[in-house]
Amino acid sequence: MSKQGLVIFDTTMRDGEQSPGASMTKDEKVRIGKALERMRVDVIEAGFAAASPGDFDAIAAVAKAVRESTICSLARAVDNDIDRAGEALKQAERARIHTFIATSPIHMQYKLRMEPDQVVERAVYAVKRARNLVEDVEFSCEDAGRSELDFLCRVIEAAINAGARTINIPDTVGYAIPEEFGFKIKQLLERIPNADKAIFSVHCHNDLGLAVANSLAAVQNGARQVECTINGLGERAGNASLEEIVMAVRTRSDLFNVTTGIDTTQIVPTSRLVSSVTGFPVQPNKAIVGANAFAHESGIHQDGVLKHRETYEIMRAEDVGWNANRMVMGKHSGRNAFRTRLEELGVTFASDQELNLAFSRFKELADKKHEIFDEDLQALVNETSTMEEKYSLVTLEAHSQTGEKPRALVTLNVEGNEVKQASEGSGPVDAAFKAIESIVQSGTSLQLYSVNAITSGTDSQGEVTVRLEKAGRIVNGLGSDTDIVVASAKAYLNALNLLANKVDKAHPQASGV
């Protein structure tokens, strides 16, 4: 029997972005959008258009740049959200509006303060309004995992009649257990008379570590779209991980009657991109994309794998993009090759001036580092942002010697004025941060400091993430350099600039309808 298609709906840039500190700029979203398109993701949820002008612009930019995947915006079941979504998607080749309302007793009573009849009416209204703007409308019953079956059947039947083509069943709070969730999908499909007029989708959160298992149980019971994120990024414990769903369905094709259109060799490069943009590192033992996912340490395993790979390996590392061919650039690569490769990675330059600036940084890096990989280019672009910079690093001198107190001398450009400051610290990075702080007096608190080698080798660039918090706002600053102390100072300043620039966003599930 031939297999059915499973629609892969990526929500890294919407639900993933809802993780504190994971917010992405417009340019970063375009780069992730291009990577997802290369991976042949079917639907990309690029954001929540009504959240902020910045999110609106980012969705519009992704809709313009990505032509192969459907681009989607989330919208609560209210006029303004739906209209903003429609507007942001105007330039999309294929556009989807994803509207939702909560259907569980607890959400209807305490959050929405609405009667079930009003919820059904509002759902129908929202779907119809969205259908006036786009053909492709998805409707979600928020907190479906804790909603009553009879009520779900009622609201879904009405939403399909109103024109929804996809019906999404979210386990919003990550409460479901696989057998129960799979059975719920089966019952919905059996009981809703017009269920055959829509694709049933699932969207599982990972609060009990069951998001992937619940999604797969749903697929075995008839769901034909899965909503997921790269690296399992998402609210609280995250969403179902795209790479795990895709590889489970593929590796156990004996059990699943579905196939995806995903180019699995793009999984690891995209995972790295998302990790570097958000500053959320991937744990080494994470399935598929963790650094140890294919490393066999034990002698018995190594021996077995050498004799016959399948003794201990169920997937091939190269099939998910480990050691994928990454074009290497170097000192002698020209501006054209540089621009072309970046365009392939989803980076376009607004002006020649911007291209020249990025190219001169590339040349500086090529002087220090023999081979430049895609990851280096991504990191370089992370830094060459178009954001207005209140603070920038002019020079940094760091001194550390055994038996002596480490110190740093930092010169910053602060809104056009050069300011110098020396400081001591427990190490050179600490000293540099203290020197910066005594200049800027930001009043922020440091939530996370992490360093990753971008590629292998001791000449590799270090990529540093600095997460700062101020008055409830959290940002991730990124910096890269072959010198870790310089990378750290750049990341710290990047976080301060983000705090100085970014507009606050509304949360889609926070209040109202």
Contact residues toward ligand KIV (CB under 6 A) are 15, 74, 100, 140, 142, 168, 170, 172, 203, 205, 508-509
Cβ proximity to Zn ion, 152 vs 398, nearer residue = 152
Least separation in angstroms between CB 266 and ligand KIV: 24
CA dist., res. 487 & res. 484, Å (int): 5
- Residue 81 binds Zn ion (CB under 5 A): no
Indicate which of Zn ion, ligand KIV, none lies near residue 437 (CB less than 5 to 8 Å, by partner kind).
none
Query: How does DSSP assign 92-104, residue by residue?
Result: -SSEEEEEEEE-S
The string of DSSP letters for 214-280 reads HHHHHHHTT--EEEEBGGG--STT-B-BHHHHHHHHHHTTTT-SEE----GGGHHHHHHHHHHHHT-
Q: Taking CB within 5 to 8 Å according to partner kind, which of Zn ion, ligand KIV, none is near residue 122?
A: none
Of residues 201 and 266, the one with the C-beta less far from ligand KIV: 201
Question: How is residue 427 annotated by DSSP?
Answer: S
Q: d(Cα 494, Cα 481) in Å, to the nearest integer? A: 14
CB 15 within 8 A of CB 74: no
Secondary structure element (H or E) that encloses residue 193, with its range: none
Q: What is the 3-state secondary structure (H, E, C) of 11-50?
A: CCCCCHHHCCCCCCCHHHHHHHHHHHHHCCCCEEEEEEHH
Rounded to a whole number of angstroms, the minimum distance from the CB of residue 225 to ligand KIV is: 12
By beta-carbon proximity to ligand KIV, the closer residue of 172 and 452 is 172
**Which distant-in-sequence residues (6+ apart) come within 8 Å of 155 by Cβ?**
103, 119, 120, 123, 141
175/338 with CB nearer Zn ion:
175
Site for Zn ion in 10-49 (CB under 5 A): 15
Shortest Å distance, C-beta 436 to Zn ion: 37
Question: Shortest Cβ contact with Zn ion: which residue?
Answer: 15
55 binds, among Zn ion, ligand KIV, none (CB under 5 to 8 A by kind): none
Question: Shortest gap between Cβ of 168 and ligand KIV (angstroms)?
Answer: 6
Size of the residue set binding Zn ion (CB under 5 A): 1
Q: Least CB distance from residue 239 to Zn ion, whole Å?
A: 6
Q: Minimum CB separation from ligand KIV for residue 176, in Å?
A: 12
Decide whether 15 or 243 has the Cβ nearer to Zn ion. Answer: 15
142 binds, among Zn ion, ligand KIV, none (CB under 5 to 8 A by kind): ligand KIV
In sequence order, what are the residues at sequence separation of 6 or more whose Cβ sits closer than 8 angstroms to the Cβ of residue 510? none
| Residue 444 touches which member of Zn ion, ligand KIV, none, C-beta under 5-8 Å by kind | none
Q: Shortest gap between Cβ of 510 and ligand KIV (angstroms)? A: 11
Pick the closer one to Zn ion by CB: 11 or 455. Answer: 11
Residue with tokens 């050069």: 418
Q: How far is the CB of 171 from Zn ion (least distance, A)?
A: 9
CA angle 33, 36, 37 (to 5 degrees): 85
* 25 or 103: CB nearest ligand KIV: 103
> What is the DSSP pairing of strand 7-10 with strand 417-424?
unpaired
Closest to Zn ion by CB, 175 vs 362, is 175
Binding footprint of Zn ion on the chain (CB under 5 A): 15
